[in-house]
Structures are given as structure tokens and as C-alpha cells.
């Protein structure tokens, strides 16, 4: 991350030069940007200094934004498929032709399946009012975000406990004394603001316990590192809870006032002692007892991060849930140095952005994925993507005919591309709205090129935080190709279907004016700052006034929602078997300079992309005859396999191998990425419909792969 010039040093006032406030689009974190535009071209990109937590900092990917905008290897106009799906045969089309083609297929879908036969998935975040409005205006309940393979277990675990998702919990790292991370690789899997406050806090003495089968860069910043057995964190947490309750180290006043189900929790952890967990996690009982003493000494300035990558197996909902319970026992909610509750503008005496969704009728049809209905513990606000795919495949509970995919690449983001394609083959229409040739776009019927983030404006976004804020992405430069912004694309489709009322705005400024009605902020103010905060400083709710939107109004250790779903609130730990011989769990993660599958074709990021290596423990490597740097073959039990170099290291647990995600692209038009490395998601063979029943999240980290050395001739380093 680079600190750089202030906006005025950018030369805002020089002739031919201006600053446009935008949001980085190189990953879904969307850091605020100040873009210097000179003579109609992007001259400089940096963080927006009006966001004090970010300052001018960006990560390497953000810094490569200009290179992305300048890259020709992206769709230049709408494209309509002419050959078989995925064959890569396209004809260029005008916008009118492509949109009319789409509208006709949607009409066919409605005739056969009704409006509920239309679905849309996207990448979540602060702009989903647009995609939700589009789906709702079409009369469909089937808006789904990407979370089934990201955070849905964490999200729904928080919902089962507090009544709200984990995104309402703000980690007050700067004032915390002890942070416990379960594979949350803050230093590499970046959110720039969080990484900056983490580094500042570590420099100020924050104690960090980092738990991961693999030692990451974040582990190198920690005061304690545990190489835990993969997928076993729940056993550790049950032992921590056992010990905290046994020693009465929890915040009794907070728990008595705000929590239900303590006695049920006590019963559930009666036998999960530090000694009990040793065989499951590989962590010594003494070490667990030591951590309990450390956190008790630091409480309530202790934070247990509910994780992301811990939340990727069939019991991972309960990893997150138990980590959140540990926070509750520490009594760290609404305490400086603990978990602050994000405030709505209304809680700060202000108004929220006016919703576009309120311009169309509510849809009461049940969702195809069963979220919130057949599955009460899955929040219908985000849905569960693989169950939408199951509906495509089985036409149960009803058939799906048309699928819009916006800013989302499920063939990279979800396991087992071949299984997904089988589900897609039941569709009449697949529309991908993307800025690149993604794996999914290449398999679509129509590709609609959105203008890149530097070439377009978005609807305004509202960001939750200790202080709520509004964010703007304004257009910095003119699009280089025949692309359009999303708001225009969705409006035009709706208009062609006679459903245009909800998005009947001529210009983005008209949408902004509508959104800002009653907020007390003008478009001019948004334009002059990019980020507008809606309160001066975080206001903590007095602890005796805390209420929670659960059925009981309290934090539910025994959850009414889970009970309704027929699921336990604190189930016993299900023991994991240790893979042996040539078998390993496959773990995966990120490089600091790459975003999922979308960066490897970026001219600059491709140049600095790290080699994709297979981390493997020396004992297991020796048994298989694999030397450091030797070429190995990895296979997930399906038709797909790949070869990469071994990184033989004790910093990975013997039961697992690890590789970076985002490699192994297949789209020939992305010439820098195609064939570069191995696709972990394609090794996750047979995993599309394996998930945690409580949270809906995919069981990605239960994938078993087989590893073998490649014969010496091909394997010479
Ligand atoms: N095997 C495996 N699977 C995983 C993961 C893993 O590590 N391993 N990670 C998981 C996680 S945490 C997540 S969040 C998901 C991420 O999965 P996705 O959300 O699919 O990934 P992204 O890379 O954010 O981008 C999705 C698509 O958005 C496009 N895009 C980028 N900017 C724009 C834009 O401005 N407009 C439009 N219209 N499109 C744009 C990109 O080109 C890309 O095709 O994958 C999950 N799946
Ligand atoms: N550079 C970069 N930054 C990103 C992204 C990106 O694509 N690139 N994506 C963003 C997104 S969408 C997300 S969701 C976040 C993800 O953020 P993280 O979840 O922090 O990131 P990952 O690198 O996917 O995984 C972190 C670690 O989880 C460990 N792990 C796997 N299984 C277990 C287990 O059973 N227990 C424990 N304790 N650890 C385990 C892995 O070994 C890995 O080191 O990153 C965000 N930031
Ligand atoms: S984390 Fe990096 S790539 Fe993502 S939005 Fe921020 S600067 Fe851009
Ligand atoms: Mo994610």
C-alpha cells in the first residue's frame, strides 16, 4: 500500500486537470478514490483523503486500475452467442439488438414459468438497491448474492444470535488489546482500511492470536500462532467456552441482562474441556488454558473475529457462531476496543438514502432457493446460490428460464464448473453483465459490457459503520468502447418489457436526486467530497439500552430461528478424519496482488503475479517422494487435474495442501490468464451441492485432493 499525494498536490487547479471522486473497482471492497483526470484521460489514482481511515492509500490492485481501463482485452460491444454455449463464437450486436434479444427471451420465460422463472445473482455490496429493484420490477423474488461461497455462514450465524448480520459488527481494532483470528488473513486478503488499522494496532501493542493450518503473513504479525487441524476450529471454541464458563470469566452483568440460553450453552459444553479438544485440533490443553487467561486479562477489549475461510465446511456455521458467542461472553459489544454496532443514519438523527426498490411492488412469491421459508435460518435478503442452481436443474420448487449475472463470476466463484454448466443448460437465457471476459461471460448467451469503474457512475451507496456514510462513484473518463453503466442497462431491459417505471430516470443525476431526497446532502456535496459521513463521531448505545432484533429481543444463545429450522443451537462437534497416503484437504486463499479470478489478465498484475505453488508438509512430501520445487499433479476426483510446483514447508498442517485461488482460466480471449496455473474451484469436484445446512455456505474446505509427483522427465525443476 502506498501513501501518496494529497488531493491538492494532485494539482486539482492546474489547467486541463481535475479531481473526480470515485470508488475503486479492482475488488469488491470498493475503497474511495480520488482520480486525477488530465485532458480527458486518467493521470493518477489514489485513495480519497476525505476518508480519514483510508487516506491516500490503495493496494497494488487498486493501483493497476488505469492499466485495466487501458486494456483492450475486454468486450468492446454487446455480444450475442452464435455457436454452442462456451464455444466462444460471438457476433457483435448493437445495444438495441442485444437488449431486444434479451427482452424476447425473458417474455418466453415468463410465458413458460411465470415471472418467478427469472433470477439474478450479483456480488452483493452497497449498490444492490439497483439489482434488487430490477429483479423485483420483473416480478421475481429470486435475487441472490455471491455469499454462498463467501460469507453466508458467518452472516447467518450472526443473524441467529443477534438478529442482524455480521456486517453490523465493527471491529474497534485500534483500541482492542487482544484479537483472535481464525484464518482471517488481514495482511494479504486485503481490505485496505482494515489492514492499515491492524498494522497500526499491532505497532501499538495489540496482542494477536492467529489460528490457521497455514502460516500466512498475518501469522508473522501475531504474538501467538496455532497450526490447527483443518476444519476443527469449532472444537477449539467449544473448549474455550467450557473453560470461560467453568472459571466464571464471562461478563456476568452483560450476560444476565442481554442473553438467553446460558444454561443450555453450559450443558452443551459440559464435557468439551481443553483436554478433550487436543485430539481434534492438535492444540495442547495447556496452550488453550493460557489463551483463556490472556483474554480474561484483556476483556472486554478482546475480539474474536468470526472469520471467513473458517466458514467453509459443513459445521462452519457453528465456528462463526461460537466465535460470536465468545465475544458475547467477553461482554465486548458497544465497548471501546470491542465490537461496535454499526449505526443506521436514523440512529444518528439522519435519514437513509431513499430506496429505488420502494418504487415497485413487493413480490410475495416464495423463493426458488427456499431461503427464509423452507430454510428459516438462511436470510432471504441474500439467498443461497447453489439452491437456485438446484432449482434450475430439477425445476423444483419451480423452473427457472432466464438468469442475469451481474458483477459475478459463478464459474470461478462456485465449486465444480461442470456441475454448474449442467444446471445452466436448462436455461433459455444467460446474460452476463461484466467488464471482462469472465469464465461465466464466456458461457453466456449474451455479454453486455459494463463501462469500467473509471468510465461510469453508479447509484449512490450507503455504508454501514460506527459512523454511517454515503459514497459516490462518479464518472472520471469517457468509455473507450461501446459499453454502458449498469443503471442504464437495467433500465433499458425493463423498458423493453413494459416494466420501466421503477427505473424511469433519464440521467444518473436524476437517480442521485431521488436517492438523496430528505437526506440533507446534495449531489454537489457528494461530488465535491466523494464520501460524506452522517455523524461526527461514533456514538455508543448505552449498554442498558441495547436491544436486538431477535424474537426475544435478546442475544439468543439458543436461537428461535434455528429451533424453527429444526437445527441445534450448539451441536456436538463432529470429528474429522485425517486424510492419508496421497490424500489431502485442499485449502486455498488469496495473494495480496490478485482479486479472485479477475486480476490475472490485467497487464500490470499479470507481470507481478506470484507463482502458484502447492504448499505441502515435509513429512507428507517425503512419504510421497516429492522434493521442494518438484512438479506435482493434483486431482480432485473428477476429470480435471493440474500440475504445479511443490513448496515443501513445515508452515502448513500435514493433513492439507494449500494453493492460491483465481488461476487456471480457460477463456482464450483473456490471453494473459488463459492456461496460467490450476483452478482450485475445478478441483472441488462434486461440491456444488455440499453445504452447511444451518448457514447455506458451500463446504469448500472439505475437498479431498490426491497429490503425486510427476515423473522425473516432466518434473525437472
Ligand atoms: N474455490 C474457491 N472459490 C471461491 C473462493 C476461493 O478462494 N476459492 N473465494 C470465494 C469468495 S470469498 C468470493 S467473495 C467469491 C468471489 O466471486 P466473484 O464475486 O464472482 O468474484 P469477483 O472477482 O469479485 O468478480 C466477479 C466478476 O465481476 C466482474 N467485475 C469486476 N468489476 C466489475 C464492474 O465494475 N462491473 C461489472 N459488471 N462486472 C465487474 C469481474 O470481471 C468478475 O468476472 O468467490 C468465492 N469462491
Ligand atoms: N488481495 C485480495 N484481498 C482480498 C480478496 C482478494 O481476492 N484478493 N478478496 C476479498 C474477499 S471477497 C474476502 S471474502 C476476503 C477473504 O479473506 P480471508 O478469509 O482472510 O482470506 P483467504 O485468503 O481466503 O483465507 C485465509 C486463510 O484461511 C485459512 N483456513 C482454511 N481453512 C481453515 C480452517 O479450517 N481453520 C482456520 N483457522 N483457517 C483456515 C487458509 O489457510 C487461509 O490462509 O478477502 C478479501 N480481500
Ligand atoms: S482493497 Fe485494493 S483493489 Fe480492493 S477496492 Fe481497495 S484499493 Fe481497490
Ligand atoms: Mo468473499
For ligand 4, a single-atom ion, which residues have Cβ within 5 Å?
A: 150
SS3 (DSSP) at 97:
helix
Q: 565-577: per-residue pLDDT in tens?
A: 999 999 999 999 9
Residue 464: pLDDT above 90? no
From residue 543, alpha-carbon distances to 169, 226, 331, 492 in Å are 15, 34, 10, 49
In this prediction, residue 311 carries a pLDDT of 67
Determine the Cα–Cα distance for residues 431 and 445; give it in Å rounded to an integer: 6
| 497 and 398 together in one domain | yes
CATH code for position 25: 2.20.25.90
**What residue ranges line ligand 3, CB within 6 angstroms?**
24, 26-27, 29-31, 58-59, 61-62, 190-192
For residue 717, the tally of other CB atoms under 10 A from its CB is 9
| Total number of domains in the chain | 4
SS3 (DSSP) at 303:
strand
CA-based nearest residue to 399, from 145, 149, 142: 142
Q: 81-136: per-residue pLDDT in tens?
A: 999 999 999 999 999 999 999 999 999 999 999 999 999 999 999 999 999 999 99
| 184 and 325 together in one domain | yes
| 368 and 314 together in one domain | no
In this prediction, residue 349 carries a pLDDT of 94
- Closest ligand 1 atom to 308 CA: 12
| 215 and 325 together in one domain | yes
| 232 and 315 together in one domain | yes
Please give the distance, rounded to the nearest whole angstrom, from the Cα atom of residue 581 to the centre of ligand 4: 32
For residue 678, the tally of other CB atoms under 10 A from its CB is 19
pLDDT band at 712 (very low <50, low <70, confident <90, very high): low
From residue 225, alpha-carbon distances to 196, 278, 288 in Å are 21, 16, 12
Q: Nearest ligand, CA of residue 225? A: 2
Determine the Cα–Cα distance for residues 339 and 323; give it in Å rounded to an integer: 12
Strand 531-533 with 555-556, pairing: unpaired
CA-based nearest residue to 75, from 441, 403, 424: 441
Whole-number CA gyration radius for the chain: 25
Strand 79-81 with 41-47, pairing: unpaired
Q: Nearest ligand, CA of residue 145? A: 1
For residue 674, is it within any domain? Answer: yes
- Virtual torsion, Cα 465, 468, 469, 470, nearest 10 deg: 110
How buried is residue 542: exposed, middle or buried, by Cβ count under 10 Å (0-12/13-18/19+)? exposed
Cα 121 versus chain centre, distance? 13
Residue 596: pLDDT above 90? yes
pLDDT band at 663 (very low <50, low <70, confident <90, very high): very high
In this prediction, residue 322 carries a pLDDT of 98
CA atoms within a 13 Å half-sphere pointing along the CA-CB vector of 521:
28
For residue 700, is it within any domain? Answer: yes
Does 5 or 675 have the greater pLDDT score?
675
CATH code for position 604: 2.40.40.20
| 704 and 623 together in one domain | yes
Whose CA is closest to atom 41 on ligand 2? 183
Residue 3: pLDDT above 50? no
pLDDT band at 506 (very low <50, low <70, confident <90, very high): very high
SS3 (DSSP) at 135:
helix
**What residue ranges line ligand 2, CB within 6 angstroms?**
27-28, 150, 182-185, 189-191, 211-214, 216, 228, 230-231, 233, 308-310, 587, 589-590, 592, 594-596, 658, 701
| 26 and 90 together in one domain | no
Tell me the mean pLDDT in the region 515-519.
Answer: 98
3-state secondary structure 526-557: HHHHCEEECCCCCCCCCHHHCCCCCCCCCEEC
**What residue ranges line ligand 1, CB within 6 angstroms?**
25, 28, 123, 146, 149-150, 406-409, 412-413, 433-436, 438, 450, 453, 588, 595-598, 661, 680-681, 684, 700
Q: 632-646: per-residue pLDDT in tens?
A: 999 999 999 999 999
Residue 6: pLDDT above 50? no
CATH code for position 440: 3.40.50.740
Determine the Cα–Cα distance for residues 248 and 324; give it in Å rounded to an integer: 18
Domain region containing 678: 583-713
Q: Which residue has the cell 441495547?
A: 546
Please give the distance, rounded to the nearest whole angstrom, from the Cα atom of residue 224 to the centre of ligand 2: 19
SS3 (DSSP) at 101:
helix
Average pLDDT of the chain, as a whole number:
96
Q: Are 687 and 585 within 8 A, CB to CB?
A: no
* Single residue among 337, 360, 378 that ends a domain in this structure: 337
Residue 313: pLDDT above 80? yes
Grid cell at residue 98: 442485444
Q: 195-249: per-residue pLDDT in tens?
A: 999 999 999 999 999 999 999 999 999 999 999 999 999 999 999 999 999 999 9
Please give the distance, rounded to the nearest whole angstrom, from the Cα atom of residue 109 to the centre of ligand 2: 38
| 191 and 298 together in one domain | yes
Determine the Cα–Cα distance for residues 460 and 22; give it in Å rounded to an integer: 11
For residue 614, is it within any domain? Answer: yes
Burial code of 451-488, b = ≥16 C-beta within 10 A, e = fewer? Answer: bbbbbbbbbbbbbbbbbbbbbbbbbbbebbeebbbbbb
Amino acid at each position: 500500500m502506498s501513501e501518496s499525494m494529497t488531493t491538492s498536490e494532485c494539482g486539482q487547479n492546474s489547467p486541463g486537470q481535475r479531481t473526480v471522486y470515485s470508488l475503486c473497482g479492482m475488488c469488491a471492497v470498493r475503497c474511495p478514490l480520488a482520480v486525477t483526470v488530465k485532458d480527458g484521460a486518467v493521470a493518477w489514482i489514489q485513495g480519497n483523503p476525505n476518508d480519514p481511515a483510508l487516506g491516500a492509500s490503495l493496494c497494488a490492485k487498486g493501483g493497476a486500475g488505469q492499466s485495466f481501463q487501458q486494456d483492450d482485452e475486454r468486450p468492446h460491444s454487446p455480444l450475442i452467442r452464435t455457436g454452442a454455449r462456451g464455444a466462444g463464437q460471438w457476433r457483435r450486436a448493437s445495444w438495441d439488438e442485444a437488449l431486444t434479444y434479451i427482452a424476447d427471451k425473458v417474455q418466453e420465460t415468463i410465458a413458460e414459468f411465470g415471472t418467478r422463472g427469472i433470477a439474478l445473482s450479483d456480488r452483493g455490496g452497497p449498490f444492490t438497491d439497483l439489482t434488487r429493484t430490477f429483479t423485483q420490477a420483473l416480478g421475481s423474488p429470486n435475487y441472490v448474492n455471491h455469499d454462498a461461497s463467501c460469507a453466508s455462514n458467518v452472516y447467518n450465524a450472526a443473524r441467529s444470535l443477534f438478529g442482524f448480520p455480521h456486517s453490523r459488527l465493527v471491529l474497534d481494532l485500534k483500541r482492542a488489546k487482544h484479537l483472535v483470528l481464525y484464518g482471517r488473513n488481514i495482511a494479504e486478503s486485503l481490505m485496505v482500511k482494515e489492514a492499515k488499522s491492524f498494522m497500526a494496532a499491532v505497532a501499538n501493542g495489540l496482542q494477536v492470536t492467529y489460528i490457521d493450518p497455514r502460516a500466512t503473513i498475518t501469522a508473522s504479525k501475531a504474538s501467538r500462532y496455532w497450526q490447527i487441524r483443518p476444519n476443527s476450529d469449532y472444537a477449539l471454541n467449544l473448549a474455550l467456552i467450557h473453560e470461560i464458563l467453568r472459571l466464571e470469566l464471562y461478563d456476568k452483568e452483560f450476560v444476565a441482562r442481554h442473553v438467553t440460553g446460558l444454561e443450555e450453552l453450559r450443558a452443551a459444553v459440559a464435557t468439551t474441556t481443553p483436554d478433550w479438544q487436543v485430539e481434534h485440533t492438535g492444540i495442547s490443553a495447556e496452550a488453550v488454558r493460557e489463551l483463556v487467561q490472556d483474554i480474561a486479562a484483556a476483556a472486554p477489549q478482546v475480539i474474536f473475529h468470526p472469520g471467513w475461510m473458517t466458514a467453509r465446511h459443513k459445521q462452519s456455521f457453528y465456528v462463526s457462531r461460537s466465535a460470536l458467542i465468545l465475544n458475547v461472553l467477553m461482554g465486548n459489544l458497544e465497548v471501546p476496543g470491542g465490537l461496535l454496532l454499526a449505526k443506521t443514519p436514523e440512529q444518528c438523527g439522519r435519514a437513509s438514502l431513499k430506496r429505488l426498490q420502494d418504487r415497485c411492488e413487493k413480490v410475495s412469491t416464495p423463493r426458488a432457493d427456499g431461503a427464509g421459508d423452507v430454510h428459516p435460518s438462511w436470510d432471504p435478503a441474500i439467498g443461497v446460490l447453489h439452491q437456485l442452481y438446484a432449482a434450475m436443474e430439477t425445476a423444483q420448487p419451480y423452473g427457472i428460464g432466464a438468469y442475469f449475472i451481474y458483477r459475478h463470476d459463478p464459474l470461478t466463484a462456485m465449486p465444480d464448473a461442470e456441475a454448474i454448466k449442467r444446471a445452466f443448460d436448462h436455461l433459455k437465457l444467460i446474460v452476463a453483465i461484466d467488464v471482462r471476459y469472465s469464465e461465466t461471460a464466456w458461457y453466456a448467451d449474451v455479454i453486455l459490457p459494463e463501462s469500467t469503474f473509471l468510465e461510469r457512475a453508479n447509484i449512490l451507496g450507503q455504508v454501514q459503520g460506527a459512523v454511517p456514510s454515503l459514497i459516490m462513484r462518479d464518472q472520471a473518463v469517457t468509455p473507450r468502447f461501446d459499453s454502458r453503466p449498469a443503471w442504464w442497462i437495467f433500465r433499458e431491459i425493463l423498458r423493453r418489457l413494459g416494466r420501466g417505471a421503477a427505473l424511469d430516470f433519464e440521467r444518473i443525476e436524476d437517480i442521485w436526486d431521488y436517492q438523496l431526497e430528505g437526506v440533507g446532502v446534495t449531489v454537489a456535496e457528494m461530488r465535491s467530497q466523494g464520501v460524506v459521513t452522517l455523524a461526527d463521531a461514533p456514538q455508543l448505545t448505552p449498554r442498558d439500552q441495547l436491544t436486538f432484533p431477535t424474537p426475544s429481543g435478546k442475544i439468543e444463545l439458543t436461537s428461535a430461528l434455528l429451533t424453527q429450522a429444526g437445527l441445534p443451537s450448539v451441536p456436538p462437534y463432529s470429528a474429522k478424519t485425517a486424510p492419508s497416503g496421497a490424500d489431502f484437504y485442499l485449502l486455498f486463499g488469496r495473494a495480496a496482488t490478485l482479486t479472485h479470478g479477475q486480476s490475472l489478465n490485467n497487464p500490470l498484475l499479470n507481470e507481478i503475479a506470484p507463482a502458484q505453488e502447492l504448499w505441502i508438509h515435509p513429512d507428507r512430501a517425503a512419504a510421497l517422494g516429492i522434493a521442494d520445487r518438484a512438479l506435482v499433479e493434483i486431482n480432485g476426483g473428477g476429470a480435471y487435474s493440474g500440475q504445479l510446483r511443490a513448496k515443501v514447508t513445515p508452515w502448513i498442517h500435514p493433513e492439507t495442501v494449500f494453493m492460491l485461488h483465481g488461476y487456471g482460466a480457460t477463456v482464450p480471449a483473456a490471453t494473459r490468464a488463459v492456461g496460467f496455473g490450476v483452478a482450485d474451484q475445478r478441483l472441488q469436484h462434486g461440491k456444488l451441492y455440499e453445504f452447511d445446512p444451518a448457514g447455506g455456505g458451500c463446504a469448500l474446505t472439505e475437498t479431498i485432493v490426491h497429490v503425486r509427483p510427476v515423473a522425473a522427465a516432466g518434473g525437472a525443476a
